[in-house]
A and B are shown apart, each in its own frame.
Chain A
Amino acid sequence: MRTALVGRPLDVAALVAEVGASANGALSLFVGTVRNVNDGRPVDGIEYNAYAPMAEREMAAIAQEAGARFGTTDVVIEHRTGFLALGEASVAIAVGHPHRANAIDGAHWIIEELKRRVPIWKLEHYTNGTREWVQHAATGESASPRADQEAPHA
C-alpha cells in the first residue's frame, strides 16, 4: 500500500506493476486526466495546488480504508501537483485483488473519496488567458454535526 503527492509525470504502468502480486487475478487502474473543456470553456491546462501534509494524510487514510473495505493491501494512489498540460494524468489509482469486483469497486470508491476529502485545488487556465479556481458546489461546507467528523459531508 502506498500513496504519494508527486511533482513529476505519473508512470501508470509502474503503478499497475506495483499491485500485480501473483495471487491477484484482477488489476484495476483509474487515471484522471486534464480535459480540454470545463463548463463549456476551453481549457489550456490546470495547476494543481495541495495542502501537502494533510493531502498526504488523507490519501494514506483512504488507502487504508479501501484496503479494509475491499480486502486487499495492493493499493497505490498517486496525485500530481503543479501545472499539467491537456491530456496529462493528474491522478492514478491502482488496486489489485484476486477477483475483479473488488478491484474495480475499490478503485471507484477511492476516486470518489479522494474527490470528496483530499485538500487539493485546481486553478484552470483558459485559452482566453483567464484563470479560475474550480468550485464544486457540494463541498467546502461542513454539514455534519458529528464531533468525530473525519471528512466533509456534502
Chain B
Amino acid sequence: MTLDVLLFASYADAAGAASVRVSVADGACVADLVQAVRAAAPGVPLPRRPLVAVNHRYAAPDAALSATDEVALIPPVAGG
C-alpha cells in the first residue's frame, strides 16, 4: 500500500515538503513505515524511535497500518 506520511517543523524543512510518499507491504506496522521513510527521505533527522501518529493518536511501533490511515511523523513537540 502507498501512504503519504505527513511531516512537520524540522522534519518538513529537512525534506523540503509537507509529506513523503512511501510504499509498504499490506499489513505493515508503524516500525516498517519508519524504515520506509528513512529510505525515501534520508535527509530527515529522525531519532532512533521517532514518534508516529496514526489517525491523530500516538501509535506504538508494532501498531498495524491500513491504506486509509492518516499517518504523521511527530518531531519533538515544543508547545506552551
Q: Does chain B have a CB within 8 A of A39? A: no
Q: Which residues of A contact B53 (CB under 8 A)?
A: 51, 54, 119
Give the one of B47, B52, B72, B74 with max A CB within 10 A: B74
Q: Which residues of A contact B56 (CB under 8 A)?
A: 53-54, 57
Binds A, one of B5-13, B20-28, B35-43: B5-13
Interface residues of A in 118-154 (CB under 8 A from B): 118-123, 133-137, 139-152
Contact, CB under 8 Å: A141 / B78 = no
A154 to chain B, nearest CB (A): 10
Contact, CB under 8 Å: B52 / A121 = no
A3 to chain B, nearest CB (A): 12
Q: Does chain B have a CB within 8 A of A76? A: no
Number of interface residues of A (CB under 8 A): 42
Our pick among A133, A147, A150 for the contact of B63 (Cβ within 8 Å) is: A147
Interface residues of B in 38-61 (CB under 8 A from A): 47-53, 56-61
A145 to chain B, nearest CB (A): 7
Number of interface residues of B (CB under 8 A): 28
- The CA of A137 and the CA of B53, in the complex, are separated in Å by 19
Contact, CB under 8 Å: B9 / A133 = yes
Q: Does chain B have a CB within 8 A of A91? A: yes
Q: Closest residue to A137 on the B side, CB-wise? A: B76
Q: Does chain B have a CB within 8 A of A111? A: yes
Residues of A within 8 A of B (CB): 32, 48-51, 53-55, 57, 79, 90-91, 111, 114-123, 133-137, 139-152
Residues of B within 8 A of A (CB): 6, 8-10, 13, 47-53, 56-63, 72, 74-80
Beyond the given A51-B53, A141-B47, please list 20 additional residue pairs across the A-B interface where CB-CB is below 8 A. A49-B9, A50-B79, A53-B56, A55-B79, A57-B56, A111-B80, A115-B78, A117-B77, A118-B79, A119-B72, A119-B79, A121-B75, A121-B78, A135-B76, A135-B78, A139-B76, A140-B74, A142-B51, A150-B57, A150-B58
List 9 A–B pairs whose Cβ atoms lie within 8 Å, in order of A's numbering: A51-B74, A54-B53, A91-B80, A118-B77, A120-B80, A140-B50, A140-B77, A149-B60, A150-B57
